[in-house]
Structure 1
Amino acid sequence: MDLDGGNRRVFNRLGGSSAASPDSSKNQKVCYHWRAGKCSRFPCPFLHRELPHPSGPAAATSNGSGAPKRFADDSGFSGPALRRGPNFNNNHNNSWGRMGANKVVRKTEKVCNYWVQGNCSYGDKCRFLHSWSLGECFTLLNHLDGHQKVVTGIALPAGMDKLYTGSKDETVRAWDTNTGQCMGVINLGGEVGCMISEGPWLFVGIPNVVKAWNTQTNQELSLSGPVGQVYTMVVGNDLLFAGTQDGTILAWKFNAVTNNFEPAASLKGHTLAVVSLVVGANRLYSGSMDHSIKAWSLETLQCLQTLTEHTSVVMSLLCWEQFLFSCSLDQTIKVWVATESGNLEVTYTHKEEHGLLNLRGMPDSESKPVLMCSCNDNSVRLYDLPSFSEKGKIFAKQEIRAIEVGPGGLFFTGDGTGFIVWKWAEAVPKP
């Protein structure tokens, strides 16, 4: 996977063709600050890679154990993240945000209000956008209406041709993925704070309870224990975790004998509501309204580390390869990486003009990783990684609180008017 996008300056900085010239031999010194993961010079006069082993060029691509250096998982965004130990490799730190100036910009980045109302007289000559998106790499397939308030969850249970959406209008709707028609509405009597699917199970978080439906058998369960709204859920190590309004993380385990989910643990430590959860590298990460992130062992369920670099609510967390991403209402996305000791440290901070609400990641049509970030200015930014170069934008009438990734290059965004189905455009063959 080429994460540097062919940027020649980065290539030369890593000791590419220019490093082989006779005149450059006196500069073959590894940057001390790069080794510490804190080099801020660009371009840096020193190397941002380890020097080749005297045994030959092949040794330069190994990590000491004979294995090639690479990210923890080349498949894209995934659970097994933040891998540590003797194979820890921080060589990609120098690439974060290096191509941030290479942005997609067309016209004024604002949707025309008259176009939205269907009566813009300027047509193609209008200086504002006549589109809900900015960028050529994805297209809008369908806009599905029905919910009366903001969509807070989108889920696609495995092996089904149905998609489910949950909303603050206290309902869950089922949609036929082939026709786009609403197939049914479930009234819950409480605002949907979050919704996920795992296997045949659909989990919906509402105040003071988690509703669970088996979409294959139609079995319905109510998991009691939460105090206040359930804002976030995740599955890891055969446990269902739920972050609640009182700052507690509750866990349930499925009992095949009783065919029920039984309470397994209650994790306490946050002082305010837990609003984001993610699992990676045998750890559970939780983000809270108390501005902190906590790392928990999935084996012992003990808190291993508390991260306090954010200055506002930690709205969303995402694991990608060996990195943890976090976004906050403090208008930043932070990229964390594990040190040799196993503790997480910030390796890059990306700043936005607005608070951030949600993070999702997926490969584009060329299998390159893309980060999607919804902001509280009613938009979603799409960035190439690790450069954070802007790939496109999505606009909406209201805040986009839900983003979900589907099969075949599909992804979904949900706001107060319903949800939209998007698809990555087919890659253009290179000549």
Structure 2
Amino acid sequence: MDVDGGGSKRVFHRLSGGAGGGGPSPSTDPRNQKVCFHWRAGKCNRFPCPYLHRELQPPPPQNGTASSKRQYHGFSGDDPEPRRPNNSTWGRVHGGAGGNNKFIRKTEKLCHFWSQGNCGYGDKCKYLHCWTFGDGLSLLTQLEGHQKVVSGIAFPFGSDKLYTGSKDETVRVWDCQSGQCTAVINLGGEVGCMINEGPWIFVGLLNMVKAWNIQTNMELSLSGPVGQVYSMVVGKDLLFAGTQDGSILAWKFNAAANCFEPVTSLTGHSLAVVSLVVGANRLYSGSMDHSIKVWSLETLQCLQTLTDHSSVVMSLLCWNQFLLSCSLDKTIKAGVTFAVYVWVATQNGSLEVTYTHNEEHVRNKVCCLDKQDRTSKGVLALDGMPDSEGKPVLLCACNDNSVRLYDLPSFAERGKVFSKQEVRAIQRGPGSLFFTGDGTGQLRIWSMLADSASSA
């Protein structure tokens, strides 16, 4: 161990070799002429450290010209032995004439410090300084106003207004032309979910569902839920709401009386119902009790209970004859791991898993934002939309603060979009647009064009 004369930082050298060790000195062996990346950042704690804790001196000119030595994997110098593949994504130092040029291999991770506006590495950072990754994805604009997580987005067909609900107890109305917030509706309670159907906007609250008709400005309050309303869907002219006590309430609109009348309450889940979807004349419900229940829209009876998931069933999506489901997985602490299940009906009408798409994304500690982010891994929301060529695309909001886009049915990843915090709400828009709302209260509008590789 030596002490750097310019300060109190310790300088650790490789312990092999040396004058009496029968091998080359660490200071002369060309394989050791690498500057420690962590030392450059002021946070190396390895002992011994195999890399140099000092800057390299520029190489002397040879015959009056700069060094013409070959470069390998971002390094300069002779190649004394065959090199093994270098899979590291850390930035490496070129030893050219100036000694200060760097080759940086970018990862597919957003730089947390850049997203907060204070990354000191600039162009030399190995993480992305961009909100998108992949071809054909672009951030059009972002809308500020909500103070807490955006929990619902509604975009009625033919409307020039976008509606967003948040846990800050407000619904905001945005003008699609100017991007300005035109109204703020204070509800006095957290918004658990929000959907639209025809001219109606439905907002799930504590012990209540609020309904607005944007054409007639009629406002109704639907009572009956016990606890927070976490999910809603419309099917067979019925409005279904999944509640905190595990029940699913159903209402039918009475045009003559101009009101929603309660029809029934579907029971069977033991914990909160957090996801609902309708498809193939079925209602599917996902719950915190780890199960998915299949209900007939004709009889409103439970046809099947699916128990393949091992944690909360966060989101459900119907695509063609398939049901897609996702769940949280807290078993892997070192990375972000999730699985999307694809269900298909058998000959007897029951559902079974036909495909499971597993995804593992090991994250570096510097990207972990908080303790919850390191312990709770999975998909938070699913949505789907066609691209500009009509090809189906699956949107998966993951709690590594990204939304991943997959082509269906291949599940080939076509890109990612990033946010400052977890995206809790996704909503498709007109054409190639889609909307996301994250934990900071920020609403973003994205554009997705056709995959350039497939369209070339």
Q: Shorter-chain TM-score: which interval?
A: 0.7 to 0.9
Q: Which residue of 2 aligns with 1:156?
A: 155
Correspondence for 1:409 among 429, 432, 440 = 432
| Cα pair distance change 1:334/1:430, threshold 3 Å | closer
Match of 1:421, as an amino acid? I
**CA separation in 1, counterparts of 2:455 and 2:203?**
44
Q: CA deviation at 1:121?
A: 4.9
Q: 1:82-101 residue pairs with structure 2 within 5 A?
A: none
Q: SS at the partner of 2:152?
A: strand
Q: CA deviation at 1:426?
A: 5.6
Q: Which residue of 2 aligns with 1:206?
A: 205
**CA separation in 1, counterparts of 2:408 and 2:388?**
14
Q: Which residue of 2 aligns with 1:183?
A: 182
Q: Which residue of 2 aligns with 1:321?
A: 320
Structure 1 stretches of 5 or more lacking a match? Answer: 1-105
Tell me if the contact between 1:229 and 1:244 (Cα under 8 Å) persists in the aligned partners: yes
Q: Which residue of 2 aligns with 1:109?
A: 108
Tell me if the contact between 1:148 and 1:169 (Cα under 8 Å) persists in the aligned partners: yes
Q: Which residue of 2 aligns with 1:271?
A: 270
Q: Which residue of 1 aligns with 2:143?
A: 144
**CA separation in 2, counterparts of 1:269 and 1:405?**
31
Match of 1:332, as an amino acid? A
Question: Which protein has the larger Cα radius of gyration, Structure 1 or Structure 2?
Answer: 2
Q: SS at the partner of 2:123?
A: helix
Q: Which residue of 1 aligns with 2:447?
A: 423
Tell me if the contact between 1:148 and 1:416 (Cα under 8 Å) persists in the aligned partners: no
| Cα pair distance change 1:112/1:430, threshold 3 Å | closer
Normalising by structure 1, what TM-score? 0.73
Q: Which residue of 1 aligns with 2:129?
A: 130
Q: Which residue of 1 aligns with 2:356?
A: 349
**CA separation in 2, counterparts of 1:126 and 1:377?**
19
**CA separation in 2, counterparts of 1:119 and 1:259?**
55
| Cα pair distance change 1:133/1:430, threshold 3 Å | closer
2:310 equivalent to 1:311: yes
2:398 equivalent to 1:375: yes
Identity of counterpart residues, as a percentage? Answer: 74
Q: Which residue of 2 aligns with 1:32?
A: none
Aligned length: 326
Tell me if the contact between 1:248 and 1:270 (Cα under 8 Å) persists in the aligned partners: yes
Tell me if the contact between 1:399 and 1:416 (Cα under 8 Å) persists in the aligned partners: yes
Q: CA deviation at 1:430?
A: 5.2
Which deviates more, 111-120 or 280-289? 111-120
**CA separation in 2, counterparts of 1:242 and 1:204?**
10
| Cα pair distance change 1:307/1:119, threshold 3 Å | closer
- Consecutive aligned runs of 4 or more in structure 1 exceeding 4 Å deviation: 426-431
1:20-40 per-residue CA deviation (whole Å, 9 max, x = no partner) reads xxxxxxxxxxxxxxxxxxxxx
Q: SS at the partner of 1:294?
A: strand
Q: CA deviation at 1:173?
A: 0.2
Q: Which residue of 2 aligns with 1:392?
A: 415
Q: Which residue of 2 aligns with 1:256?
A: 255
Q: Which residue of 2 aligns with 1:54?
A: none
Match of 1:420, as an amino acid? R
Q: CA deviation at 1:407?
A: 0.7
Comparing both chains, which one has the higher relative contact order based on Cα–Cα distances under 8 Å and sequence gaps of 6 or more?
Answer: 1
Q: CA deviation at 1:132?
A: 1.3
**CA separation in 2, counterparts of 1:392 and 1:165?**
25
Structure 2 stretches of 5 or more lacking a match? Answer: 1-104, 330-337, 361-376
Tell me if the contact between 1:380 and 1:400 (Cα under 8 Å) persists in the aligned partners: yes
**CA separation in 2, counterparts of 1:387 and 1:124?**
35
1:328-380 per-residue CA deviation (whole Å, 9 max, x = no partner) reads 00332100000011000000111234311100011112221111111112111
Aligned CA-pair RMSD: 1.5
Match of 1:251, as an amino acid? A
1:254-302 per-residue CA deviation (whole Å, 9 max, x = no partner) reads 0000000000111001010000000001110000000000000001000
Tell me if the contact between 1:147 and 1:416 (Cα under 8 Å) persists in the aligned partners: no
Q: SS at the partner of 1:124?
A: helix
1:205-227 per-residue CA deviation (whole Å, 9 max, x = no partner) reads 00000000001111100000000
Q: Which residue of 2 aligns with 1:36?
A: none
Q: SS at the partner of 1:252?
A: strand
Q: 1:171-250 residue pairs with structure 2 within 5 A?
A: 171-250=170-249
1:155-200 per-residue CA deviation (whole Å, 9 max, x = no partner) reads 0122210000000111000000111100010011111000000000
Q: CA deviation at 1:389?
A: 1.1
Tell me if the contact between 1:279 and 1:285 (Cα under 8 Å) persists in the aligned partners: yes
**CA separation in 2, counterparts of 1:183 and 1:225?**
31
**CA separation in 2, counterparts of 1:345 and 1:112?**
40
**CA separation in 2, counterparts of 1:111 and 1:357?**
19
2:339 equivalent to 1:332: yes
Match of 1:407, as an amino acid? P
Tell me if the contact between 1:109 and 1:129 (Cα under 8 Å) persists in the aligned partners: yes
